Each structure stands twice: as structure tokens, then as C-alpha cells.
Copies of this chain bind each other. A is one copy, B any other.
Amino acid sequence: MYQGGYMGKVLRINLTDQTSKEEGLPLAVAKDFIGGAGFGIKYLFDEVKGGIDPLGPENKLIFASGPLSGTNVPCSSRMAVTAKSPLTGAVGMALSGGYFPTELKFAGYDAMIVEGKAKNPTYVWIKNGEVKFRSAKKVWGMKTTDTQQIIKNELNDQNIRMVCIGPAGENQIKIASIINEWRAVGRKGLGAVMGSKNLKAIAVRGTEKIAVADKDKLKAARGEFTKAMKESHVLYPAFSKMGTPMLVDHTCAMGIFPTKNFSATGEYDPSDKIGTEVQGTRNVGKEHCYGCPVGCSQLKLAKTGPYAGILTEGPEFETMFAYGGVTGVENIDAIIAADRLADELGLDTISSGVTIAFAMELYEKGVLSKEDTGGLELNFGNDKAMVAIVQQMAYREGIGDLLADGTKAAAEKIGKDSENYAMHVKGLELPAYDVRGAKAHGLNYATSFTGADHCRGYAFQEIFGIPFPQEVDRLAVEGKGKLTKWNQDVRTACADAPTMCSFILDMAVPHMATQNTAALLEAVTGLEFTPEEIQEAGERINNLARAFNAREGFTRADDTLPERLLTEPLKGGASKGHFISKDELNQMLDEYYAERGWDVTTGAPTREKLTELGLEYVADQLS
């Protein structure tokens, strides 16, 4: 049924009765959904009914790498993890790189569907197609690095690759992450889903080779791709050396690096405290994902005070924002320490940082008292309090109990007008980029099927000035609906599904994204793909995800932004005076829905659009 060894097998793991089985992947799925996020969303929509409890046994957790993972195509060792998000109630899909995605392929699987709930703490051990369920009693409660080491020791194999959760996932805090080595499937609380299933880890070891349909074609396509990588003015010259944190300076200069819970963006600029120059004093080396010649991952070592000697891979730009700018913390070593701690405890740096910043603002406003904080002086900039609360969140202790499930839940508990300071969309905390100065980026936050997510339809045109598919004015509103659709569809089709690193997409191949993806996929899979089909697959996946959310009750009303961004102009910096008014947002939304062919009132995909994309059966479920 399959050509070129593409889409070998899906492994279905049932934790309730501790069984597993292999399934073939229908060719139509392989062709229409490509892999990664495509597979995850397809299986999620088809197999998880509307309205289920995301932390109940009915939820499913789908791990899927892409058709390119494990081949010699660089930057393809990525995977999507998909479930219904306990944080948002919407599609929860997040990606991670590292070595696990290819190891899963080498073990024989394109995807893994984890179902049910184990009676006791369990980990799954997969070796070249052999699946074992093992007690995780020994490692339950352990941090993620220790968990991985102790399981390697227990299985007597130091070459195992693993995904696991830390105490945050075990305690089902809704901003818990999944960790593989030091990389995170960070957002949307997927770690809590693992925890709810009593699943501590999945350990994988594989030695199978990945078949390639047409080696000559692949050589040619790969050649084009790596040539574009080398020609990028950013990728090797800057990004390889500094990684994502180089964006601190860049976004500060643009006046869109969010600070102090978005209350002081532009006005307060911490780039001299946590920007490139200071980062450089902590850089000690780098790490690579499997098969990546770039190695954007920067190792940083804290140097001072109680943080001295703490190493982290990162902190990525988003964490510089989450534990830096948005909390007002200026101590680079505290940011490094908090980043490592969050990875060890298994919680999302973005959501935890933004939630702490939210609490800081409420503390400064007198809404939260020193009694509420357990004696912590929770002003902006208090690094020790921040690090303490990261720990407390994972255990729901002290004020961590109030904050553990993110800003939306905390605001509901606190009441009063606290929701006005809760920086989230659909329950997902805002990432970096103050979108008052980058409006397509803002429209993406408002409309992304995962909530406020910089990883879905990243508006690199606005952030980097890259003129593909066209030049844009970041402060303009017109055309942003169309652009956001393009960004979301292309990102899904060319990065999240195949699965390719999105940084490469943005920095090296924005001008040839769909062509490049089509060529690589054809060579590896033997299936035929046109660039148009690739882009349509992206649209299909976005529509299916949107349909999932519609089935869960999400409407146009949920496609919004926090009140602050809609009403408060930026007070300083290069984007001073700008904001996204409610009218502007509505204007962008109208255009966006029109471009998408969605109902402009409900924001739901229309039967026509779904049918056009081959998703008639989906339309039936929405009516």
C-alpha cells in the first residue's frame, strides 16, 4: 500500500489494559496530512469525542514525527505532540526537537497514540518494535534529568532516548510540559495529560534504517535546501552563534519586547541587562538536535550568587521574556536558574513566567497581599520570589497553588478585575512579542487553534522584515487576515507536519517553502506532491483543528486578545502609541475569516470549505 517505505506504522498504546498494537497508516492520511501535527490533529479529531475531560482517560496523546525525520534531511528531527489541552480545552499541539523524534522512527514508528490511563505510575519501553509496560514507582516524583538517567540505568542502556514528565506533570498542573533530554514540548499542558494517565516516561531505542524512495531526487532536493540554508544572511552568521535569545535586542529595538506583564513594553527596555552582550558572558557552548548543522541551542552557565554553577540549555528568547522582561527580572543568572528548574520540574517557562508576572502586577496593585504570597515580596523584578514560585507551582504549594493552572484559572479564582491583567488567549498565556507593534502576529495569537501561540503563524514578515510572500507594514491592519492565513498554513505545512524546524523555514526558505517541502517529501516518500498540495495540506490541518475547537464550543468571541492590548497604547519605544483597537481586531478578523472561507459570525469552518478540503465528514459533526 505504501510506496518507498513511507509511513510504516502507527503504534497504539493502551495504558488501561497495558497492551499495544501496530496499525498501518492509511495512504490518504499520509498524503493529506503529511505527518507530525497533521497526524496528531487528524487522530485527535477522529478519535477523541467532543466535550471530554482533557485530564480523563478518554483523552489521547499522539506523538508523531514526520516523514523526513531520520533521513539525512537536516533539521528534521522534530515531533508534534497532540491532545486536547487541559489549559485551553482546545487543540493542544506542541512540537519539540532533539533526538527522540528520530529514535521513534528508528524504533519503527511514525506515530504513537497513547490511550487510557494506567492504574499505577508506569513507563513504556519501546525497543525496535517491542513494547513493555514497566512500573515507574522508582522514578515517580523525580525531576526530568534524574528520571531519564535512572531509567537508562534501570534498562541498562545509556543510548535510550526518552520523553518524560516531572513533578509538575505528575501533579497535573495545567501548564506542565513534556521533556525530552533538555528540550521541551512546552506548552498547553501536555505534561499534565501524561500525568493524568499515570505515564511518567516513554523510553525508546531503535536501530532501523529509514527507507528513502528516490535517493537521487533526495540528493538534489537536499542540495537545494542546504544551499538556501548557507545563503541565509541570518542562519549561520547569527542564529547559529546566538540562537533565539538574539531576539531580545531585536525586539527591544522594535519596542515590542513585553515587560512587566505588558504594562511597560517599550517604556522599560532591559536589553542592557539581559540582551545579547550579557548573554554572551554566560554562553559556554552549544548543543545540536539530531542531524542539525546549525545548533541554535546555546548552553548558558550562571555565574553569581546562589545561582552560580547552574547550567541550562537556553534560556531561549521566549524564556528570556517569560522569566526576564515580563517579570521585570534583570538578573540573567536567575533567569538561567529558573529555566533549568522549570525544565527539571517539567513546566512551561512561558506560561509560568507570564502567570508570575500577572501575580506581580496584582501584588503591586494591592490585589494580592503578602499573606496571599506566603510572605514573598512579589514586586516586579524579585528574582528570588520568581524562582521560589516556579518550584511552588509544580507542587501547588503556597501561592503556587493559586497560579499552577495559569493566568486564566488564577484570574477566575481571584476575581475582581484581575482578568484585565491576565495575558492569555483562550487560556494560553501570551508569548513574547508585544503584538501592539506587530499586528498580523497579534491576529495569529487571536486565531491560532492552540491559543496565543507564536509557533503557529509566526509573522516573520513583521518581526524580521522578510518580504515573503510580500512586504508588509507591521503596524498596518489591512491585508493581515490574508497574511495570517498564509503564515498559519505554510507554517503547518512546511514545518509542523513534515516535520521540519520552523527556524529554518523562517530564516532560509521563506521564498521557497512549499516547493522545498514538496521536493523533499516526494524524494523521501515516493508520493507526489505539488507546492499547491503542500499549502492545501496546511490549510486542511488548520481547518480540521479549527473544527475540533468549534466542536468544543469555541466561537469568534474567543478569537480575541487581552483587554490591555486592545485598549492601552504602548507608552514608549519604537512602537509608542500603537495598540490594536477592538475595531482593528474586528477588521482583521473579518478579513481573516473571509480568506479562510469560514463563517464570519461563528468563526467556524463552513461545509463548503471543509468539503473543498476533503473533510465532508467533519462538517457533519459540526452541524
Give residues in A with beta carbon < 8 Å to B: 137-143, 145-146, 149-150, 152-153, 158-159, 166-167, 284-285, 287, 299, 301, 303, 305-306, 308-311, 344-345, 388, 391, 394-395, 397
Contact = CB atoms under 8 A, between A and B. Distances in A.
A546 to B, nearest CB: 38
Nearest to A170: B309
A145 B394 CA distance: 23
Could you say which of A138, A143, A308 has the most chain B C-beta atoms within 10 Å of its C-beta? A308
A384 to B, nearest CB: 11
Closest 3 CB pairs of A and B: A138-B285, A158-B158, A146-B311
Given A138-B285, A145-B149, 8 more contacts: A142-B309, A150-B285, A150-B311, A158-B158, A166-B309, A306-B388, A308-B395, A309-B394
Contacts of A308: 167, 391, 394-395, 397
Copies in the complex: 2
Contacts of A149: 145
Contacts of A139: 284
Contacts of A310: 143
Nearest to A145: B145
Contacts of A143: 309-311
A138 B150 CA distance: 25
B284 A345 contact: no
Contacts of A395: 308-309
A309 B167 contact: yes
A91 B547 CA distance: 74
A205 to B, nearest CB: 11
14 contacts: A137-B284, A141-B284, A142-B301, A142-B311, A145-B149, A146-B311, A150-B285, A152-B158, A153-B287, A158-B158, A159-B159, A305-B397, A308-B395, A309-B344
Nearest to A153: B287
A145 B301 CA distance: 14
A178 B153 CA distance: 21
Contacts of A285: 138, 150
Nearest to A146: B311
Contacts of A309: 141-143, 166-167, 344-345, 391, 394-395
Contacts of A167: 308-309
A310 B395 CA distance: 13
Which of the listed residues A158, A166, A344 has the most CB atoms from chain B within 10 Å of its own CB?
A158
A190 to B, nearest CB: 20
A394 B304 CA distance: 12
A339 to B, nearest CB: 14
A138 B299 contact: yes
Contacts of A305: 397
A166 B310 CA distance: 11
Contact of A158 (B145, B159, B306): B159
A241 to B, nearest CB: 15
A306 B376 CA distance: 14
Given A150-B299, A158-B158, A158-B159, A138 B311 contact: no
A168 to B, nearest CB: 9
Contacts of A397: 305, 308
Contact of A306 (B140, B142, B311, B391): B391
B158 A301 contact: no
Contacts of A391: 306, 308-309
Given A145-B145, A159-B158, A284 B138 contact: yes
A387 to B, nearest CB: 9
Contacts of A142: 284, 301, 309, 311
A115 to B, nearest CB: 28
Contacts of A138: 284-285, 299
A521 B220 CA distance: 63
Nearest to A285: B138
A141 B287 contact: no
A595 to B, nearest CB: 45
Nearest to A308: B395
A166 B395 CA distance: 29
Contacts of A158: 152, 158-159
A166 to B, nearest CB: 7
Nearest to A395: B308
A411 to B, nearest CB: 26
A394 B309 CA distance: 10
B153 A301 contact: no
A137 B139 CA distance: 33
A299 B141 CA distance: 12
A479 B143 CA distance: 51
A126 B579 CA distance: 61
Contacts of A287: 153
A184 to B, nearest CB: 17
A284 B309 CA distance: 27
Contacts of A153: 287
A146 B152 CA distance: 16
A247 to B, nearest CB: 24
A497 B305 CA distance: 42
Nearest to A168: B309
Contacts of A146: 311
A298 to B, nearest CB: 12
Given A306-B391, A394-B309, A301 B159 contact: no
A394 B307 CA distance: 12
A299 B142 CA distance: 11
